[in-house]
């Protein structure tokens, strides 16, 4: 089997090895490529593993022997699954591998926002720490988490892990989900209630036609001016110019963003220069243990396919 691994540097910086796939065939690793580049490297591929690249029908047609596409991720909106199904290509994803990592990152964002950690770090480094007469010792707002309301948009495994962590800090947890769910210690609410009552609102839903740009100008206008917005899910769930406006106009107090609709985030995007926003470069899932687990599960997916017992299939 010829295995082509795409976007490998977005999974490993040398600390994770792809050698596990040697037991299933030969493999070649490539960086993130555009469509033309992808068509050039997949010509002999029987199987493709990928992260951070888009697999279109054109790319599939460039690989006449292609029978398997394995995402090195949970989300699969970057693969034309319908085109794959029409061509008899099995597509798999990896659910659950990053639950602890993303939940921990979310809580890190919440604490950083609540305590103004980034602002205080910059304040100290810029010489602001002083005991001189008249010095403001608390120039940035700080608050305890106990008693604050955390709202979760989506309530799958990651959101439920965040709920557990938040409850340990004494936070009240509410959540919005399209399907009824019973969860001890957390209250399911409608969307408007989620917006109006959350002190911290965190996204944990997939990007779909139903969720795209759910968080728009109208949604932000219903949030508290003291509330904070957190996105470790998918950038496309948010109308990002509307988020930038909400931050710049003090409609909400701040935000923390790990994902954007167009990555990487550059100065040309309105969100780049929005005030009171913390950014990380889509690394919430990136703990070493998480990435090693990802590769092990990717191997299990591919081996299951080779054995005629495919698992985690997202194509029909």
Q: Which residues pair with 238 in a beta bridge?
A: 215
Q: Identify which of 7, 3, 95 has the alpha carbon closest to the alpha carbon of residue 282.
A: 7
Which one of the listed residues 36, 82, 249, 263 is annotated catalytic?
A: 263
What CA–CA distance (Å, rounded) separates 250 from 22?
Answer: 54
Which one of the listed residues 105, 161, 172, 234 is annotated catalytic?
A: 234
- Tokens 């976007």 -> residue: 7
Q: Which residues, 6+ apart, have CB-to-CB distance to 277 below 8 Å?
A: 247, 254, 255, 256, 257, 271
Q: Identify which of 218, 276, 278, 214 has the alpha carbon closest to the alpha carbon of residue 250.
A: 276
Please say if 263 is a catalytic residue. yes
Please say if 234 is a catalytic residue. yes
Separation in Å, CA 238 to CA 76, 141, 255, 260, 264: 18, 26, 12, 8, 16
Which one of the listed residues 282, 289, 291, 293 is annotated catalytic?
A: 282
> Angle, nearest 10°, between helix axes 99-115 and 288-306?
150
Please say if 204 is a catalytic residue. no
What CA–CA distance (Å, rounded) separates 69 from 187?
Answer: 38
Q: Which residues are catalytic?
A: 234, 263, 282
């Amino acid at each position: 089997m010829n295995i082509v691994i795409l976007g490998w540097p977005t999974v490993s910086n040398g600390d994770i090895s792809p050698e596990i796939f040697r037991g299933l065939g030969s493999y070649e690793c490539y960086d993130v490529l555009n469509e033309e580049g992808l068509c050039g490297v997949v010509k002999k591929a029987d199987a493709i593993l990928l992260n951070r690249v888009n697999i279109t029908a054109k790319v599939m047609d460039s690989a006449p022997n292609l029978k398997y596409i394995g995402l090195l991720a949970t989300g699969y909106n970057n693969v034309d699954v319908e085109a794959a199904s029409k061509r008899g290509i099995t597509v798999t994803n990896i659910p659950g591998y990053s639950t602890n990592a993303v939940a921990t990152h979310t809580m890190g964002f919440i604490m950083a926002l609540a305590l103004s950690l980034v602002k205080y770090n910059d304040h100290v480094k810029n010489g602001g720490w002083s005991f001189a007469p008249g010095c403001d010792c608390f120039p940035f707002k700080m608050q305890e988490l106990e008693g604050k309301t955390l709202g979760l948009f989506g309530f799958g495994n990651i959101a439920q892990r965040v709920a557990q962590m938040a409850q340990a800090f004494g936070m009240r947890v509410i959540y919005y989900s399209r399907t009824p769910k019973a969860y001890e210690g957390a209250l399911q609410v409608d969307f408007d209630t989620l917006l109006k009552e959350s002190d911290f609102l965190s996204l944990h839903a997939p990007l779909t036609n139903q969720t795209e740009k759910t968080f728009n100008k109208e949604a932000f206008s219903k949030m508290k001016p003291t509330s904070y917005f957190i996105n470790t899910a998918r950038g496309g769930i948010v109308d990002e110019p509307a988020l930038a406006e909400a931050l710049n106009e003090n409609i909400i107090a701040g935000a923390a963003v790990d994902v954007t609709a167009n990555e990487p985030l550059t100065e040309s995007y309105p969100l780049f220069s929005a005030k009171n926003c913390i950014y990380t470069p889509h690394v919430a899932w990136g703990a070493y243990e998480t990435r090693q687990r990802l590769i092990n599960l990717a191997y299990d997916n591919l081996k299951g396919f080779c054995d005629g017992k495919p698992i985690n299939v997202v194509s029909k």
